[in-house]
Amino acid sequence: MDDIQHKLTAPSKASREDVMGRIISYTCIAAIIILVISILYFITSRGVATFTANHVNLWQFLSGKEWNPGTLNASGQPQVGALPMIVTSFSVTILAALVATPFAIAVALFMTDIAPKNGAKFLQPVIELLVGIPSVVYGFIGLTVVVPFIRHLFGGTGSGILAGTIVLFVMVLPTITSLAVDALKAVPTYFRSASLALGATRFQTIYKVLLRAAMPRLLTAVIFGMARAFGEALAVQMVIGNAALMPHNLVTPTSTLTSQLTTNIGNTIMGTLPNNALWSLALILLLMSLVFNLLIRYIGKRGEIKS
């Protein structure tokens, strides 16, 4: 009797195991949290040095058009105007998303509603494969196919926003498509059958019922694609031309935030203004990815309430 009472109250191997399990898994998650915090901290502290240590004016940084951090301008100020990169980054991102979205939604509709059997069977694995193609491969194809083609059509070097947009369009297309497929699949079948039963044509059903019901998630899909495009470095760097100049049209060399970073961070010396200025570009990238993240959450929440 007493033996059992003792057993029932004393710690056992099992209770020790559980303590160990908790310690292990809590440690792992803590490591990830610390990692995220340190990424945010390090990039931010480097990124603000341009403004705190080098006393560059934030507004000048964001609106200046001359990027030449090594030299001073006529008034003795360093030339760190990031506007060309910001404009180019946003241009390629928005253009790529604008072009990719109709294609992505068309393919997604094709896979879920128009030819769900054969279409999905063939397209699904291909899209999965395309999501997995490394960005340098896209960049390489851009460099060997897209850039010469543009050069042929418009003259010049062929590099620029147009080439960047085309490469990014192909890159984000599978991303947006696969998320759009999920979005459309999440619309319950009875939405469709109810609409069709009321005598609506397939297009009316798609347009009035399906796309509306799936709208929040479709938007999320597009923003995911934009986030990917905005942060993409090497593929864009290979076709954009990498000249830190304000883009005046779609076919002159220019530079995105990411391409400027990858091209130059290795050529500058830690702690100097040219280096700090690059970290400030990285900070913009980081902040933008947070913005995309927030947008996705916000739309996700609104979508939840609606349905």
Partner 1 sequence: METYDLSQNHIVTPPEEIALSTNQLQVYYGSGSRASMTDASLSFPRFQITALIGASGSGKSTYLRSLNRMNDRIARIEGEIMYRGTNINSPKVNVYEVRKHIGMVFQKPNPFAKSISENITFALKAAGITNRQELNERVETSLKEAALWNEVKDDLNKSALALSGGQQQRLCIARALAMKPDILLLDEPASALDPISTTKLEVTLKELTKNYTIIIVTHNMQQASRISAYTAFFHLGHVIEYDQTEKIFQTPEIQATHDYVTGNFG
Partner 2 sequence: MTPNQTDRIATQVINFLVLIVVLILFFLLGDIILSGFPHISWHFLTSPSSSFSAGGGIRDQLFNSLYLLVLTLIISFPLALGSAIYLSEYAGNNWRTGLIRTAIEVLSSLPSVVVGLFGYLLFVIEFHMGFSILSGAIALTFFNLPLLVRSIEGSLHAVPDSQREAGISLGLSNWRTIRGIILPAALPGILTGIILSAGRVFGEAAALIYTAGQSAPILNYSNWNPTDSSSFLNPMRPAETLAVHIWKVNTEGVTPDAVSISAGASAVLIIVILLFNFGARAIGNHMYKKMTGGK
**Is residue 145 close enough to count as binding partner 2 by CB under 8 A?**
yes
Partner in contact with 1, chosen from partner 2, partner 1, none, beta carbon below 5 to 8 Å by kind: partner 1
- Footprint of partner 1 on residues 269-298 (CB under 8 A)? none
Q: What is the DSSP string of 26-72?
A: HHHHHHHHHHHHHHHHHHHHHHHHHHHTS---HHHHHH---EEEEEE
- Footprint of partner 2 on residues 200-239 (CB under 8 A)? 200-204, 206-207, 227, 230-234, 237-238
Q: Tell me which residue of 288, 293, 246, 294 sits closest to 47, measured CA to CA.
A: 288
**Is residue 302 close enough to count as binding partner 2 by CB under 8 A?**
no
Stretch that binds partner 1, among 8-16, 88-96, 124-132, 256-264 (CB under 8 A): 8-16
Which residue's CB is nearer to partner 1, number 11 or number 155?
Answer: 11
Q: Tell me which residue of 183, 176, 178 sits closest to 217, measured CA to CA.
A: 183
**Is residue 25 close enough to count as binding partner 1 by CB under 8 A?**
no
**Is residue 119 close enough to count as binding partner 2 by CB under 8 A?**
yes
Q: What are 185's two structure tokens?
A: 């699949």
Site string for partner 2, 17-56 (x = CB under 8 A): xx-xxx-xxxxxx-xxx-xxxxxx-xx--x----------
Q: How far is the CB of 50 from partner 2 (least distance, A)?
A: 15
- With residue 80 as reference, give the H or E element that holds it: strand 78-80
Mode of pairing for the β-strands spanning 78-80 and 67-72 = antiparallel
| Inter-residue contact 40 to 286 (CB < 8 Å) | yes
Using CA atoms, how far apart are residues 100 and 179, in angstroms rounded to an integer?
13
**Is residue 132 close enough to count as binding partner 1 by CB under 8 A?**
no
Which residue's CB is nearer to partner 2, number 66 or number 222?
Answer: 222
**Is residue 274 close enough to count as binding partner 2 by CB under 8 A?**
no
Within 10 angstroms of residue 296's Cβ, the number of other Cβ atoms is 16
| Inter-residue contact 47 to 283 (CB < 8 Å) | yes
Stretch that binds partner 2, among 48-56, 101-109, 156-164, 181-189 (CB under 8 A): 101-109
Residues of the shown chain interacting with partner 1 in the complex, contacts defined by CB under 8 A: 1, 4-5, 7-15
